[in-house]
Amino acid sequence: MATPVFRPVMMPTSFPFVDEIGLKELFLRITINRDNCIDWLRVHGLLARGMRCKCGANMSEGVFSKAHEGRGWRCPEKGCKKCASLRVGSFFKGSNIPLTQLVVFLYFWAEGLQSTHFLTLNLKWSPNAITDWKNFLRDICAEKYLSNPEPIGGHGHIVEIDESEFGK
């Protein structure tokens, strides 16, 4: 199995230029074609820029008809020649949905357009796929906030918590 040569990032933390061009314009630029999408995902640490094979060689990116995006990683060593998906090491691994469609889903999700009915009509995905991805994103957000808790209130602020909010 190939290993990424990068430190995977689960979700980008900020995009300062989004305020300048707007989320919709950003979305349109990213999803205009597969190569733009892959480049954008790499720039923001969501896909690997390089890959190292288990044999130790640096893999090269190439065009493969059977790969998800028509591209993948291949080991150049004569005795090895192992192949890997562009998605190795990312949270896109294991999904058969094209990356451009996943970015469209992420855009809708970020805009609060999360109704399964809306997403089914617009993406033509199964309700199960939509539910799985919504749950996956919820889990990523929960992990982020649980690992980086922020105190509520602050100095000089009193926070009242109602005991009915706690479960058994």
- pLDDT number for residue 12: 44
Q: Looking at residue 23, what is its pLDDT?
A: 65
pLDDT along the chain (168 residues), means of 10: 45 47 71 84 87 89 79 88 87 87 87 88 91 92 84 78 62
For the chain, what's the residue count? 168
* Sheet of strand 58-63, all strands in order from the earlier edge strand to the far edge: 3-4, 51-52, 58-63, 71-74, 83-85
The reported pLDDT for the residue numbered 22 is: 66
Residue 167: predicted pLDDT: 56
What confidence score (pLDDT) does residue 3 get?
Answer: 53
